[in-house]
Amino acid sequence: MRKTLSLLGLTALVLAGTLGCGSSAPQVPVAEPSVTSPLDEPTVEETSGEPPAAELPDPCALLPKPEAETLADAKLEDPVPIRETCTYTGAPTGPTAQVEVFVGDGAKKMLDIDRELGHEFTALSGIGDEAHLENGVVFFSKGGVWVAIRLVRLTDDAENNKRLEQAARSAAGRL
């Protein structure tokens, strides 16, 4: 591209010098170099087939605080949304508990990593297009949007499976 701009500049100088000296040579239009901006590039969302972040659902709306508290079986603080995530932490006076909701590529990446690590999953039916339960996390996809709901408690994960499944069913119904 630098060579093209240099050649165009040199051509313009030669033509200007020739025309400026009283020559009656016909004027030749000089092509303007095409300048592209990074803003003209397609975004990751446009090239990946995933919905853009602006079209992703609000993760806190997928699992409202009362349902997050039911899932955690504990009182939780108000949600903290950050981009495509929502985190509810346990109240300082209650048991250790945290509920996290991930929407979009991050949720799918979590699932992919856990699969690569050889984690065991239980397939769940009737939740979105695809759903899996794994050690305190439930993953599901509906309409091409992936969601992960993770429960952190100081209890056996098996005790929480039914509540995780119910939380996923409720959240999938809101997608």
Contact 127, 119 (CB under 8 A): no
pLDDT score, position 55: 87
Residue 47 lies in a domain: no
One domain for residues 28 and 106: no
Query: Smallest Cα–Cα separation from 144: which of 105, 115, 110?
Result: 105
What does the alpha-carbon distance between residue 51 and residue 136 come to, in Å, rounded to a whole number? Answer: 27
What's the angle, vertex CA 46, arms to CA 84 and CA 42, rounded to 5?
115
pLDDT in tens, 60-101: 999 999 999 999 999 999 999 999 999 999 999 999 999 999
pTM exceeds 0.85 for this model = no
Q: What pLDDT shows up at residue 49?
A: 52
Show the domain range for 113.
54-174
- Clarify whether residues 148 and 67 are in a common domain: yes
pLDDT band, very low/low/confident/very high, at 41 (cuts 50, 70, 90): very low
In a domain, 93, yes or no: yes
Please give the backbone phi and psi of residue 56, each rounded to the nearest 5 degrees, phi first.
-70, 145
Q: What's the number of domains the chain is made of?
A: 2
Q: Are residues 61 and 99 in the same domain?
A: yes
- Is 45 among the domain residues? no
Among residues 150, 156, 146, which one has the least CA distance to residue 56?
146
- Asked whether residue 142 is assigned to any structural domain, the reply reads yes
* CATH number assigned to the domain comprising residue 91: 3.40.1000
Q: What is the pLDDT of residue 15?
A: 40
Q: Is residue 42 part of a domain?
A: no
Q: Tokens in use for 135?
A: 């050690």
pLDDT single digits (tens) 135-165: 999 999 999 999 999 999 999 989 999 999 9
Task: Please indicate, yes or no, whether residues 58 and 12 belong to a single structural domain of this protein.
Answer: no
User: Does 21 lie in the same domain as 64?
Assistant: no
